[in-house]
A and B are shown apart, each in its own frame.
Chain A
Amino acid sequence: MCLAVPGRVVGIEERNGTSMARVDFGGVVKDVCLAYLPEIEVGEYAIVHVGFAIQRLDEESALATLRLFERIGALDEEFGDAWARAAAESETASEEENR
């Protein structure tokens, strides 16, 4: 949750009176609220945290960070299935307790 991930804005639209973007995080595309970064344009990169763009980022820094996150598995941690992870961990915990 602490993680803020850089992504590229691939589309912008108005929804419910709020500017929303489709943002590509190295292959995973998510809806992102642009209320705090209203001036950003398609093609630019932003740091995104829990569905909100909070700051612009240059392309080189963004791509370097995305590569690093991908390598250390942080993208899966951020965008993967939290329930599946919790379930897997709980099952392993039960097995350990039963030993």
Chain B
Amino acid sequence: MKYIDEFQDPELARRLLDEIARTVTRPWAMMEVCGGQTHSIIRHGLDQLLPDTVELIHGPGCPVCVTPLAVIDKALEIASLPDVVFCSFGDMLRVPGSDRDLFRVKGDGGDVRVVYSPLDALRIAQRTPDKQVVFFGVGFETTAPAIAMTVHQAKRLGVRNLSLLVSHVRVPPAIEAVMRSPDCRVQAFLAAGHVCSVMGTSEYPALADTYRVPIVVTGFEPLDILEGIRRAVRQLERGEHHVENAYPRAVSAQGNPVALRVLREVFTTTDRTWRGIGTIPDSGWRLSDAYRDYDAEHRFDITGPAAAEPAVCRSGEVLQGLIKPHECAAFGIICTPRTPLGATMVSSEGACAAYYLYRRLSPPHTEEKASVD
């Protein structure tokens, strides 16, 4: 009662939950990849409404969370330079570097600006030709095309005082890394819907086949997630492992062909370090050689300080689904959304912040279950 009345269509939610409960005959664990999905699941208490036998494991799908400390430190170093306008999405402001954040750099006199779109940074560069404008390019495949088009336009328009600090990551290699972990408990994936809006679903059949794991493309509204879970459970119970699209209103198999073309022109894949997880082969984008002049790391002589993450922070294990946020000793005590140790707490889409905000301080399946009636 506590949660289900908040649904857009409580009756449909009830029917989906009933069908999941009827279908499931033994325990299953599935991972939602997208941080927006994690946020929605915890906020609406979906994990409490599900049968005890269906466990949701929270995946590494928050780009803010997985941006390495060393890259944050580079951003802070560049943003502190004179004659630099440093532009970023708002949710990077409070991500802690080794000793400060972008908010502090701004307070200390740095020209740090929050923009809604990377095209805003291009406009700032056009209006302030005497400054170097740097944009912090963070995000998954949903965000990367916007950055790609910005660089593409800068080159086309001959704008030379714009560069990008790029830390883009790709979802499929992260899924592969999760499956290859010796501690992996994941038996199915709810794939991130808006990543697939851009990329389509062509990268997933090989993964589903190789690791014999169902992959269901899922939206992030409560009913979308329940439908994704229903389909994943159905496959698991039948012993199937293929790709299903449970979010067809926003995802087609081929994705967005125009975006893919620009993405592949401007970026090339590269090994990328994920905060708390380590290096995953081929898991990121970097600017291709044709756009190397727009790479801030190439343009500015920065090394970034030797960065070490706080030893007590277990966000890496949270990101891999090995522990739940409240199983970390620092959770809610010395690590809160206002005093975060790791980025899973500082980003509103991080699993730790979602657990903290919605007061999920004990394991979901030991709490009193929320009633569906």
Contact = CB atoms under 8 A, between A and B. Distances in A.
Contact of A51 (B43, B62, B120, B142): B120
Contacts of A37: 256, 258
Contact of B103 (A4, A90, A97): A90
Nearest to B7: A68
A83 B103 CA distance: 8
Contacts of B149: 33, 35-36, 52
B90 A89 contact: no
Contacts of A50: 89, 116-118, 139, 143, 146
B194 interface: yes
A92 B338 contact: yes
A1 B93 contact: no
A16 B157 contact: yes
Contact of A93 (B34, B197, B262, B338): B338
A47 to B, nearest CB: 6
B64 A64 contact: no
Contact of B90 (A38, A51, A86): A86
A1 B89 contact: yes
A15 to B, nearest CB: 10
Interface in A5-25: 16-18
B156 A82 contact: no
B90 A85 contact: yes
B251 interface: yes
A49 B194 contact: yes
B250 A3 contact: no
Contacts of B258: 35-38
A51 B118 contact: yes
Contact of B348 (A65, A68, A77): A77
Given A52-B146, A57-B249, A89 B194 contact: no
A93 B43 CA distance: 23
A18 B368 CA distance: 55
A62 to B, nearest CB: 9
B274 to A, nearest CB: 16
- Residue among B43, B249, B262, B348 with most chain A CB within 10 A: B249
Interface range, B side: 35 or more
Interface residues of A, number: 43
A17 B139 CA distance: 26
Nearest to A80: B90
Contacts of A51: 116-120, 146
Contact of B139 (A1, A36, A58, A92): A1
Nearest to A3: B36
A3 B63 CA distance: 12
B93 A82 contact: yes
Contact of B194 (A4, A17, A77, A79): A4
A52 B91 contact: no
Contacts of A30: 116
Contacts of A1: 63-64, 89-92, 138-139, 143
Given A3-B36, A52-B149, A86 B249 contact: no
Nearest to A65: B221
Interface in B254-280: 256, 258-259, 262
B94 interface: yes
A20 to B, nearest CB: 9
A5 B339 CA distance: 29
Contacts of A90: 94, 103, 338
Contacts of A33: 117, 119, 146, 149
B197 A55 contact: yes
Nearest to B6: A71
A7 B66 CA distance: 29
Nearest to B61: A2
Interface of A: 1-4, 16-18, 30-31, 33, 35-38, 47, 49-52, 54-55, 57-58, 61, 64-65, 67-68, 71-72, 77, 79, 82-83, 85-87, 89-90, 92-93, 96-97
Given A1-B143, A50-B116, 4 more contacts: A1-B139, A31-B117, A54-B145, A96-B339
23 contacts: A1-B90, A1-B91, A1-B139, A2-B61, A2-B140, A2-B142, A16-B157, A18-B153, A33-B146, A35-B149, A36-B256, A37-B256, A50-B139, A55-B252, A64-B221, A71-B6, A77-B348, A82-B114, A83-B90, A86-B103, A92-B338, A96-B336, A96-B339
